[in-house]
């Protein structure tokens, strides 16, 4: 699974604003959108094109048109903040929502919403989720998309943890992953460190207070799941 970590200075600059705990939800949403645009541009650099005859104001020519149909699959809810930027790049893309939440005790994904049509209607799927943490939600989503018939899948996230990359690599070695940064590790609650906190809460202003702050209140079962993930990627 090729992992692509952006080296663009604008990505690094905007990511520093996103990480800052002082960044308010409105600004946070704006930066998520801007980063998604930049990462989406990079993620789609290898899509195929087909020749098409057109006429410019001066003369006929053979131009290039995008060949595959592309689907955007935001993982609810945090992935919603990435959709508009991708639609600016690909106005004709289809958008299909998959709802997964992470059980805070087991860190395993639980599916609660899926409105994919009966058969695949696109050739390339871009899974959108700001954080690739344990990798469980991403792997489960890609399982669903492959069973649906998607020929090619890419993961686009803002920040990834090594544990999540390892999980996704083991489950789907053919999936390209595009991120703005690969961070240090997961803490015992399954949050990416240094990370940026909970991407959904910070986008939508739903921070529930100190008890839900990243790094607080881990239970033994959750901590053990994270430790197992970390052991899997140790050399």
Which pLDDT score is estimated for 120? 84
Looking only at the bridges linking them, the beta strands covering 70-76 and 124-128 are parallel
Residue 187 — left, alpha, or beta (φ > 0 → left; ψ -120 to 50 → alpha)? beta
Provide the Cα torsion 78, 145, 113, 213; round to 10°.
-30
- State the pLDDT confidence band at 63, using cuts at 50, 70 and 90: very high
Which pLDDT score is estimated for 199? 85
Per domain, the residue ranges of the chain are 3-50+65-232
Residue % of the chain over a pLDDT of 70: 86
**Residue 91: C-alpha distances to residues 83, 135, 146, 214, 220 (Å):** 11, 28, 24, 36, 46
Tokens at 132, concatenated: 């690739």
CATH number of 3-50+65-232: 3.40.50.2020
Q: pLDDT tens, 115-142?
A: 788 888 899 999 999 999 989 889 989 9
Q: pLDDT tens, 145-164?
A: 998 899 899 999 999 999 99
Q: pLDDT tens, 181-229?
A: 999 999 988 889 999 988 888 988 876 544 444 444 445 555 555 555 5
Q: Which H/E stretch holds residue 113? A: strand 109-114
């Amino acid at each position: 699974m090729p992992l692509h970590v952006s080296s663009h200075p604008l990505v690094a600059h905007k990511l520093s604003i996103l990480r800052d705990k002082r960044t308010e939800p409105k600004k946070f949403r704006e930066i998520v959108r801007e980063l998604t645009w930049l990462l989406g541009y990079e993620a789609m650099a290898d899509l195929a094109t087909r020749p098409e005859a057109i006429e410019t104001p001066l003369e006929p020519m053979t131009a290039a048109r995008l060949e595959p149909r592309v689907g955007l699959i935001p993982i609810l809810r945090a992935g919603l903040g990435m959709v508009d930027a991708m639609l600016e790049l690909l106005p004709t893309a289809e958008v299909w929502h998959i709802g997964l939440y992470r059980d805070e005790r087991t860190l395993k994904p639980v599916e609660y919403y899926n409105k994919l049509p009966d058969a695949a209607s696109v050739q390339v799927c871009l899974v959108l989720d700001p954080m690739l943490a344990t990798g469980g939600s991403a792997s489960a989503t890609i399982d669903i998309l492959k069973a649906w018939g998607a020929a090619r899948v890419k993961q686009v996230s803002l920040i990834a943890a090594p544990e999540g990359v390892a999980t996704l690599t083991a489950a789907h070695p053919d999936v390209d992953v595009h991120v703005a940064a690969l961070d240090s590790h997961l803490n015992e609650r399954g949050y990416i460190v240094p990370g940026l906190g909970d991407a959904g809460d910070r986008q939508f202003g739903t921070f529930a207070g100190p008890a839900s702050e990243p790094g607080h209140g881990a239970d033994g079962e959750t901590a053990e799941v994270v430790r197992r993930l970390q052991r899997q990627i140790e050399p």
